[in-house]
Each structure stands twice: as C-alpha cells, then as structure tokens.
Amino acid sequence: MGRIAGSLATTCAAAALALAGCAGDDVAADTGGDDRPPPPMLSPLDLRADGWLRGDLHAHSNYSHDGDDAVDTLLRLAEFTADPRFLAFHPELVDDALDFLGLADHRTVAGVRDPGWTSSRIIAIGGEEFGGAEGLGHAVISGIDEYVDHDPGADGTTRADIEAAIDATHAQGGVFIAAHPTLSYMPWGWDVDALDGLEVWNSGWALGNPEIGAAELSALVARGGEVSDYLARAVELQGRGGGMQALAMYEAYLARGVHLALVGGSDHHAALPLGAPVTYVRADTADAAGVIEGIRARRTFVARHAGAAQLEFDVHVGDAVYSFGDAIPIPRDGASVVLSLRVARAVGGRAFLIGGVAREALAGAPLGGPLVDAWVDDYDTLIARSFWAEPGDWVYPMVWESLYAPGLDDAGRGAVDGLALLARDSGIATYQIVNALETRGVLNAPQLCDVDAWRADELQCMPVDASGLATFYVPDHLDRALNVIVEDGAPSPWVMGALGSAVRFVADPNEAPAE
C-alpha cells in the first residue's frame, strides 16, 4: 500500500442527518403508495454459519430518565424481528432477526437486575450508558452488571475518573465504547487510548448528531472537559455532518496506532426501531460473553439495518487469511497483500476500501483515502485488489447504497427526496419525524396497533409495545432517506450502507532483527 495520500474527509462525501425540527405538516402523508418495489432477495451470505450475530448495543429502558419502554418490552421488540407476523410481511428478513440486545440506561444498571431482563431467544447483555448530564461525553459500557461511576468523588469528572472507569469495566469483563463521540452537546474529548470501541454510527448516519465546531469545543473545555487530538482532528472536517466527523475520529485513532472496534447503536429511547443501525459481531459462542469478546477482538461491522448491505472482508498475506479488526503481522519492510471485499444486498451501490498510514501529528494531516472505489453491479459482488502494505498502515471497508430502493416509482422517489431534505435540515433528534410519517394515530395510542393494517409504504407499528409511545419499524425505502449522504450541502443519490472495523498492519514480532 505504501504511503497513502488524501483523506476520507475530503475524498468521500459525508452524511448529515438529524431529526429535530421536522414539522409534521412539512411531510406529505403519501410516501409513495403501496406499490413500492418488492422486497430484496435473501442475502447470499450465510453469516451465521461463520459465527456472525446481529444486534444492538445501545438501547434505553424506562430506567433511564428519558426512556419509554420497560426492559421486557425491549426484549419483546427484539424478539418480534423473528415473529411469523413480522416475517410474513418482511420475508426478506427471514434470516436476519436480531440475536442480541445491549441495555445502556443512563447512570444505572438497575434494569439488568429487573426480572423482565431475560429472553429465551435474545442474548440479553447488561450494561449502562456511562457519563453525567454535564456534557463531558458518554460511553456505552457493555458486558457488566455492577455500576461504573463517572464521578466517584462527586467533584466533577476527570481524566483519572475515565481511566479508572475503563479499568473497572475491564475488571468486570466488559467493553468500554465511546458513544456518539461528536455529538454537539456532549462530544467525547477525553485523551485516553484504552477504549475498546467507537460508536461511529448512532441512530441514523447522523441522526441526532449535527456536526461539532469550534464553539462546541470551547464550550466543552469551559465545562471542564478535554479536547483530544482525535476530536480536534475530527472537527477540522466541516460541512459534512457529525457521522463523517465520527468516522474521521476513528481514522485519527487508527493513524496513532489505537486500534478500536467500529460499532453502531440505535440509541433507542422510544418510537424508532431497535437494530437501526445493526452491529454484526463474529462471536465464538452465541452468548453474551461471545459477543463481548468479539467486540474486544474488533470483529465487527455495522449496517443500516439487518436487511441492508452485508460484508465479508478478508486480507490474504501469503497463505494466511485475516479479517475485520485483525492486527496483521508483516515484515518490517512491508509485504504484498490481497484485500478481498464481498458485498451483498447493495446492487447499484459503491464499495470502498479506505486506507491510511501511521501518523503521530494529526492536526491538518490527511487521514484515510480510497484505495478502491468500485461499483456494486450485482446482488453478490466480489472485489479483490493487491496492495503493498507497511507496518502502521490500516484499511477498512465502506459501502454506499442508492438513495432509491430498486424499482421505486416516481411518487416514491419524490417522497424519499422530501424526507432526505428533512433529514439534511434537521438538528438534535426528536420523534417529530415519526409524527410526520405516522398518520394512523398510533404513536400516542400503541394499543391501536393492528398488524393487519400494515402498509408497505408506511411505518409499521410493533404490537408488542402497547404502552407509552408506540415503536415502529421503518421500511427500507424510507430508512434510506434517514441515512442520506450530503454532498455540497444537498442530499446526494447515496446513503451510508455499511462500515467495517479496520485491519491494521504491524511489524511481525517474530521477524529476525535486521543486521
């Protein structure tokens, strides 16, 4: 691969989406008619046979001050993705039901001890959303059942508190993942490298995550926070939304040699579905411990939802084969490697292999650039390229999908265009987008949910959520609009489809020293 110039921030357009400010009367009730295209075929990839599990690490219950659903309701919502009623309407998802769900309530693990936090089908993973209300950054801690305090001395959170919290998490066998790291009012600025992962994709591609700027960094410092080199480098990227800033932050960590898992989370509080985005984890065992160890080993990729693009990513070095998240030993002088990316369910999209090099100085430095930018011309597309890799180099896969679902008619395209404009113009997430799209009055009266009344062109209520606010499944053709990629300030023809954890090349420790 050698020396890779360019930056993903400057060569790849960014997504910008958040859902506040979407007034209901600004959205047409007709979302394209019930004659939208038939659902896509089943995925040609048998990911479960290779140990891949699908799930959501970031869900809130009513143990959070701003959560709506009881813990048992959350699990029933996850289970419903395998319900015959759901699959009869969505046969394309028959192999893609959720497997795990992580509880991440604000500053409590009480929900983990609730008798309702159990399921015979869903792997229920304990955890918390770490961090206070003062806006110094949050983290998803997964795989724990004892509370980890963000401010044990009640004197304000400090870097020492963060380091102690990471140690406490690891002592319980859990993983510590910086959540929505470029969220404007609580960015993750702590200068610590012992993280296990970065939640690059929260809600939609930039749902509820308007980009951060110099004013927000100044406010963070005024609140007692820090601005790490990673966050500062991310903020250099302007005009492309918070999601691409978070991805630039991930690249900045990689450039410094900090190798993290790339994850996503719905950040479900109410109304919007679990598993959007969905995190795939390759687990040695189909249990909570297996999921956590898979994250710790960085064996992850993220997609818009479980019916969207899927990836296989391999790196061939001689006879050895590596994959997502691996640290790959190569000679100190470098090696020829073959990168192989298989993309399913993204026909008409674009597949990227993004690469970068080791950099100590991050300010103003280029980060990742496209090694490959190829059309996805089939439902099952394989792309392979040879590169010269050197220690410190890194590569990750990314897929963009078309804004329009295949076969969508003109009325449907017009509705998606309007929703994409709302997505571009929105700010901090609210549920006004659901008010705008949901015309049956079920949002505030979930007991009225009727599966027999579902339409393919509308949000579909989940009948297992019968209290508080209703929860809805967002059909694929609408979900695309909520993940639109913005170019030059306008919605582009593309949406973020999938991202995978990077491989990183390291000097082979078994190589004989140079003479």
Q: Are 102 and 127 in contact (CB under 8 A)?
A: yes
Question: What SS3 string covers 173-194?
Answer: CCEEEECCCCCCCCCCCCCCCC
pLDDT at 423: 74
DSSP H or E stretch at residue 473: strand 472-473
pLDDT in tens, 65-103: 999 999 999 999 999 999 999 999 999 999 999 999 999
Helix (H, G, I), strand (E, B) or coil at 365: coil
Which residue, 316, 264, 261, 309, is CA-closest to 501? 261
**Which range is least confidently modeled, 19-23, 71-75, 228-232, 312-316?**
19-23
Question: Cis before residue 277, ω within 30 degrees of 0?
Answer: yes
Q: What φ, ψ does residue 344 adopt, rounded to 5°?
A: -115, 150
What confidence category does residue 239 fall into, taking pLDDT thresholds of 50, 70 and 90? confident
Question: Could you give the CA distance from residue 457 to residue 37 in angstroms, rounded to a whole number?
Answer: 10
Dihedral class, residue 267 (left if φ above 0, else alpha if ψ from -120 to 50, else beta): left
Provide the β-strand partners of residue 507: 330
| Cα→Cα distances 144→114, 115, 136, 432, 443, Å | 14, 16, 22, 34, 33
- pLDDT higher than 80, residue 6: no
Question: Could you give the CA distance from residue 148 to residue 144 in angstroms, rounded to a whole number?
Answer: 9
- pLDDT higher than 60, residue 21: no
Give the torsion through C-alpha atoms of 62, 67, 71, 76, to 10 deg: 140
**Which range is least confidently modeled, 38-42, 113-117, 231-235, 414-418?**
38-42
The alpha-helical segments, DSSP class H, found in 236-368 are 242-255, 288-296
- pLDDT higher than 70, residue 246: yes
pLDDT at 455: 94
Work out the angle at residue 230's Cα, subtended by the Cα atoms of residues 266 and 267, and round it to the nearest 5 degrees.
Answer: 10
Question: Could you give the CA distance from residue 264 to residue 466 in angstroms, rounded to a whole number?
Answer: 27
Q: Are 505 and 394 in contact (CB under 8 A)?
A: yes
pLDDT at 2: 38
pLDDT at 226: 97
pLDDT at 409: 93
**What is the average pLDDT across 341-358?**
97
**Which range is least confidently modeled, 232-246, 299-313, 430-444, 456-470?**
430-444
**What is the average pLDDT across 133-147?**
97
User: What is the residue whose two structure tokens read 């090694």?
Assistant: 371
Written as one letter, the residue type at 67 is G
What confidence category does residue 333 fall into, taking pLDDT thresholds of 50, 70 and 90? very high
pLDDT at 427: 62
What confidence category does residue 41 fall into, taking pLDDT thresholds of 50, 70 and 90? low
What confidence category does residue 432 fall into, taking pLDDT thresholds of 50, 70 and 90? low
Domains of the chain listed by start with CATH number: 8-407+483-506 (3.20.20.140)
- pLDDT higher than 60, residue 115: yes
What confidence category does residue 511 fall into, taking pLDDT thresholds of 50, 70 and 90? confident
Provide the β-strand partners of residue 80: none
Helix (H, G, I), strand (E, B) or coil at 414: helix
Residue 89 C-beta-side C-alpha neighbours within 13 Å: 24
Tokens of 134: 């003062």
How much is the mean pLDDT over the chain? 89
pLDDT at 487: 81
pLDDT in tens, 259-316: 999 999 999 999 999 999 999 999 999 999 999 999 999 999 999 999 999 999 999 9
Q: Is the dihedral of CA 248, 249, 255, 257 positive or negative?
A: negative
Q: β-pairing, 52-59 with 100-103?
A: parallel
Percent of the chain with pLDDT over 90: 79
Question: Could you give the CA distance from residue 221 to residue 497 in angstroms, rounded to a whole number?
Answer: 34
Question: Could you give the CA distance from residue 300 to residue 257 in angstroms, rounded to a whole number?
Answer: 18
Helix (H, G, I), strand (E, B) or coil at 292: helix
Q: Are 307 and 345 in contact (CB under 8 A)?
A: yes
